[in-house]
């Protein structure tokens, strides 16, 4: 079912995205709670259509994004469908999904009205893309924000490499390679969120947006976030992750003498070697790109190239389909990933471009 901003609420109950108006606020509710609201192509289209309509509607002052259920805003893209597309040779379908998803990410970042993203609970991958580019990004004590792509044979996308290269020091490199989730305090430190609102006050906060400007609502309901963990580890993170290769990063982590650094090294070594090397290259390249749009164009090339890599379907199989948590990466070691193979991910593909730059 296609959801439209003007449709009656009861007609949208089965839609994967619910749209409603409360006063001067337009609400977008991701509505696949059993899948922690994982994004699929119809959801991206519904969101894009709603933003088109509400941008033109002078009676809508604010857009509010939330997720149905108790587990989180959004656990990412529907990667099981990507696995099925690759196995069936339907890679064009996944490329088309990413094309529209990344355009939506760019649209959210440039949306001219306040876009309030309530990043409560699990917010990962594609969930970061539809929230962390918004103008008002709210986390709670339950927030767990991550870009875990290297664990499924993929590379951070949805503008993730843009966000992660704008963090203090090398925090973004650490988060990208390890896929480590962060809580509210660290999300604020890394620039992935703007404000902390206790989860018990979210109904009041979102309700107030019906008649209150977003900035005023934030001032009324925001408070001090629980302390994060990353600031205490900046010394070894910045020193180790400044290395020019994944191999050297791992060596520095092991040699640092810090228990947390060694744990990070072991976490990295469990990820896809190809994904790790491509991710580091993508981050370094993204630092030199001037805009989110330019980074999204790069990510689109990388994502489409990943469809031809054996690690993407294998990683999804191990984590989501069979759930044995024992991916068989190919190659299985960092030393087996050549510079030529990494470079292949950044070459233009037959899927074209997003047309953003």
Question: 65 vs 29, 37, 62, 251, 268, CA distance in Å?
Answer: 6, 12, 10, 42, 32
The DSSP H or E segment spanning 65 is strand 62-67
Q: Which of 189, 157, 50 is nearest to 108 (CA)?
A: 50
User: What's the burial of 81, exposed, middle or buried (CB within 10 Å: 0-12/13-18/19+)?
Assistant: middle
- Residues near 237 by beta carbon (within 8 Å), at least 6 away in sequence: 169, 170, 171, 174, 230, 261
Coil vs helix vs strand at 10: helix
Q: What 8-state DSSP symbol labels residue 64? A: E
For residue 55, give the nearest of 90, 26, 77, 17 by alpha carbon: 26
Cα 171 to its chain centre, rounded Å, is 16
CB 183 within 8 A of CB 109: no
Supply the residues annotated as catalytic: 77, 126, 149, 157
Could you tell me the sign of the dihedral formed by the alpha carbons of 134, 140, 142, 145, in that order?
A: positive
By the 8 A CB rule, do 147 and 175 touch? yes
Residue 137: strand pairing partners? 117
| C-alpha span between 271 and 267 (Å, rounded) | 7
| Cβ–Cβ under 8 Å, residues 311 and 329 | yes
With CA atoms as reference, report the closest residue to 48 among 94, 91, 106, 7: 106
Contact 19, 52 (CB under 8 A): no
Q: Is residue 158 within 8 Å of 100, Cβ to Cβ?
A: no
């Amino acid at each position: 079912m296609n959801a439209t901003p003007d449709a009656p609420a009861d007609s949208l109950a089965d839609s994967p995205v619910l749209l409603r108006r409360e006063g001067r606020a337009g609400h977008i509710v991701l509505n696949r709670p059993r899948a922690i609201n994982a994004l699929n192509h119809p959801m991206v289209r519904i969101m894009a259509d709603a933003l088109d309509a509400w941008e033109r509607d002078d009676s809508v002052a604010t857009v509010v994004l939330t997720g149905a259920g108790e587990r989180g805003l959004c656990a990412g893209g529907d990667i099981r469908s990507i696995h099925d597309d690759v196995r069936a040779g339907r890679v064009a379908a996944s490329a088309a999904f990413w094309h529209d998803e990344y355009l939506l990410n760019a649209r959210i970042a440039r949306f001219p009205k306040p876009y309030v993203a309530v990043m409560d609970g699990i917010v990962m991958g594609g969930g970061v893309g539809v929230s962390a580019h918004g103008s008002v990004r709210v986390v709670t004590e339950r927030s767990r924000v991550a870009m875990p792509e290297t664990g499924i044979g993929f590379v951070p996308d949805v503008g993730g490499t843009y966000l992660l290269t704008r963090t203090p020091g090398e925090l973004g490199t650490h988060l990208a390679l390890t896929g480590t989730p962060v809580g509210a305090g660290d999300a604020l430190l890394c620039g992935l969120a703007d404000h902390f609102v206790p989860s018990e006050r979210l109904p009041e906060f979102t309700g107030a947006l019906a008649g209150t400007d977003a900035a005023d609502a934030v001032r009324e309901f925001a408070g001090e976030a629980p302390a994060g963990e990353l600031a205490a580890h900046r010394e070894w993170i910045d020193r180790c992750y400044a290395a020019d290769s994944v191999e050297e990063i791992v060596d520095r982590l092991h040699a640092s003498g810090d228990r947390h650094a060694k744990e990070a090294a072991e976490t990295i070594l469990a990820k896809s070697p190809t994904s790790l090397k491509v991710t580091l290259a993508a981050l370094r390249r993204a630092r030199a790109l001037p805009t989110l749009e330019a980074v999204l164009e790069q990510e689109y090339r990388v994502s489409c190239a990943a469809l031809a890599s054996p690690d993407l379907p294998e990683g999804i199989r191990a984590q989501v389909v069979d759930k044995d948590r024992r991916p068989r990466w190919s190659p299985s070691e960092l030393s087996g990933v050549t510079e030529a193979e990494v470079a292949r991910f950044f070459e233009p593909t037959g899927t074209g471009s997003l047309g953003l730059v």
